[in-house]
Amino acid sequence: MTRTIAEINEKIAKGQAVVVTAEEVIDIAKKKGIARAAQEIDVVTTGTFGPMCSSGAYFNLGHSKPRMKIGGGTAYLNNVPAYTGLAAVDIFLGATAMPDDDPRNKIHPGDFPYGGGHVIEELVAGKDVKLVATSYGTDCYPRRKVETLINLKSINEAVLFNVRNAYQNYNVAVNLSDRTIYTYMGVLKPHLGNATYSTAGQLSPLFNDPLYKTIGIGTKIFLGGGIGYVAWHGTQHHPDVPRTDKGVPKRGAGTLAVIGDLKQMKPRWLIGTSFIGYGCTMTVGIGIPIPILSEEILMYTTVKDDEIFAPIVDYSDAYPQRNPDILGEVDYAQLRSGKIKVKGKDVPTASLSSYPRAVEIANLLKDWIKKGQFLLTQPVAPLPGLESGITFKPMPDRPFDKID
């Protein structure tokens, strides 16, 4: 059995495509077998909804009168600094940026109530945001200061551009020390008091296409409630990790850089997020359709939580010290059961990514496709695979005085 994306799109346009979610396909394939399921199903939809720090948005603010070169100056949106090292009125706001006067961790653990992700959420909700920008003045751009309200309707482009999202697998975080620690994996209680994890597991996009056979550059996706595209492989994409027989990575592996029109997005799917003692970020919703081009592709989408393994990592010492030791591996069915065993101890588990919202995304995308509102795209180039030789480089310390 083989099928092309063009054939699938014809069926979608006629409203005849058979679309199921990555959760539903598991039972269908179990009942009917891989071959028959692959015959019947055209598209499997995936979803994930979790904190994704390498997210942000760029904006073209429009030109004030007189003109002002914000590029090379400073720009703040609701007091959160944006990057201005671009042309006169293009700025980039990162999800983890926070106000200059936020006390950070001066009193530990810091609160981090508001940052770039929260600004993006407010903009997407249609709210006005305060822009304060300063610059030095030039002959062609004389203005030196602007203070004005902006919103998504008043500015030119507003584009979500996330350089690393949808991590294919992630660590399970625990704390072996004798004090509570505050991490990007949440609050970790001492002596293995809890374990946190962050993935949609069997619904997660890259677990359903573990060897990147359909998802590539140019793949059209659900992004933040609107439509986006895979722009590139994400930063830290490194496919060469231990994998199961079915190719599912047992460590963090592939990642995606994604892009989309912020003006179409919805605040339900882009949420400003705060990690006590760590910082601000944004929770992002992503859904990716998998075209069932062959039985092999369908087989990959039948992956279940008990076939996906993650490493257990001590965030009190091994992680901060970049020590590669792990405390073992667990599968996602165990994690979702509410407790796992680490060093012989029962440890309660908590998820940072929302499974119910991942289900909702996969179902929304399914509806869009079934109604003929969302056609699939053929990637213009594949993501780097195992053959790419990409390695995950650390940063060695090289003292300046060694420069010749």
Partner 1 sequence: MNIARKIVLRFPPRLVDQPIIYRLVKDYDLQFNILKASVTPNEEGILVLELSGKKKDYDEAIRFLAEAGVEVQALIKDVSRLEERCTHCGACVTMCPVGALVVNPQTRRVDFLENKCIACGLCIKPCPVRAMEVRL
Query: Which member of 31, 65, 140, 394 is catalytic?
Result: 140
**Nearer to partner 1 among residue 174 and residue 258 (C-beta):** 174
**Nearer to partner 1 among residue 12 and residue 195 (C-beta):** 195
Alpha carbons 144 and 147: distance in angstroms, whole number = 11
The minimum distance between CB 199 and partner 1, in angstroms, equals 11
Do residues 250 and 100 touch, judged by C-beta distance below 8 A?
no
**Element holding 84 (H helix, E strand):** none
Residue 53 has what DSSP assignment?
S
280 counts as catalytic: no
- SS3 (DSSP) at 271: strand
Q: What is the contact surface with partner 1 in residues (CB under 8 A)?
A: 49-51, 109, 111, 113, 178-180, 186-187, 189-191, 193-196, 271-276, 283, 336, 338, 348-357, 359
Backbone torsions φ then ψ of 60, nearest 5 degrees: -105, 115
Per the structure block, which two tokens stand in for 330? 């667990």
Backbone torsions φ then ψ of 37, nearest 5 degrees: -60, -40
Alpha carbons 59 and 77: distance in angstroms, whole number = 11
Do residues 327 and 340 touch, judged by C-beta distance below 8 A?
no
The minimum distance between CB 374 and partner 1, in angstroms, equals 23
**Nearer to partner 1 among residue 168 and residue 283 (C-beta):** 283
**Nearer to partner 1 among residue 61 and residue 359 (C-beta):** 359
The minimum distance between CB 212 and partner 1, in angstroms, equals 27
The minimum distance between CB 191 and partner 1, in angstroms, equals 5
**Nearer to partner 1 among residue 8 and residue 364 (C-beta):** 364
Among residues 108, 113, 103, which one has the least CA distance to residue 275? 113
The minimum distance between CB 342 and partner 1, in angstroms, equals 13
Alpha carbons 27 and 37: distance in angstroms, whole number = 10
Catalytic residue list: 140
